[in-house]
Structure 1
């Protein structure tokens, strides 16, 4: 049960990320920023893949996957809405902050001594490295936007 709670918390993070990236992609395309949208599209796809992986593991453990991002999703909407008004660099910074928060949540989960080996493996081998790669990509985009 404990593993399912942790996985659902991480799943809500990933659902928030997919919602936020979808909004950012829509905004970038609307503004004609096709290069940036092509740069962040793989991150969006990776978050969708993470959602699928987490849902599958929760189901395998006999749990019920969270269906929405909850309060975090609302916060993400507010942050992304503000970033859209302030411009591309602010939007990229908001995405980067979200990625860093996600990485911290994965690292925090790994500190849990009750975490099962399959949950630990998914985080260590797939989810956390993906978050770290996303942060690097956003670092490069932010440098280019400066």
Structure 2
């Protein structure tokens, strides 16, 4: 039960990330002056894959995956919506902050002694490395953003 609760929290976060990246991609595509939306597509795809991985593991553990991002997703949409009005750099900063929070959550979960080996493996081999790579990509984009 403990592992399913943690996995569903991560699933909510990944659903929120997927929604946030889709919103950012839509904004960047709509605003020809922002460009670089193609740099965010692989990150969005990683979050979609994380959703599938988490849903699969929750099902294998006998749990029921959450179906939406809940309050966190609503908050993330508001923040990103505000950033969208301020331009590309604000969008990238909001996404970067979300990625950093996600990485911190994964790192904290790895300190949990009750975490099962399959949950730990998913975090160590897929979720956390992807998150760290997203942070690096967004930092590069922020460095080159006007």
Aligned equivalents of 2:97 and 2:14: distance in 1? Answer: 14
Q: Tell me if the contact between 2:34 and 2:88 (Cα under 8 Å) persists in the aligned partners.
A: no
Q: What is the DSSP-based 3-state SS (H/G/I as helix, E as strand, rest coil) of the residue aligned with 1:123?
A: helix
1:58 equivalent in structure 2: 58
1:70 equivalent in structure 2: 70
2:89 equivalent in structure 1: 89
Structure 1 length-normalised TM: 0.98
- Structure 1 stretches of 5 or more lacking a match? none
2:145 equivalent in structure 1: 145
Aligned equivalents of 2:31 and 2:88: distance in 1? Answer: 9
2:25 equivalent in structure 1: 25
2:41 equivalent in structure 1: 41
Q: Tell me if the contact between 2:29 and 2:35 (Cα under 8 Å) persists in the aligned partners.
A: no
Aligned structure 1 segments of 4 or more residues deviating by more than 6 angstroms: none
Aligned equivalents of 2:125 and 2:55: distance in 1? Answer: 17
CA offset at residue 35 of structure 1? 4.3
Aligned equivalents of 1:92 and 1:36: distance in 2? Answer: 11
Q: Tell me if the contact between 2:13 and 2:72 (Cα under 8 Å) persists in the aligned partners.
A: yes
Equivalent residues, number: 146
Q: Tell me if the contact between 2:14 and 2:48 (Cα under 8 Å) persists in the aligned partners.
A: yes
- Structure 2 stretches of 5 or more lacking a match? none
Aligned equivalents of 1:29 and 1:142: distance in 2? Answer: 18
CA offset at residue 32 of structure 1? 1.7
Aligned equivalents of 1:36 and 1:45: distance in 2? Answer: 16
- RMSD between aligned residues: 1.0
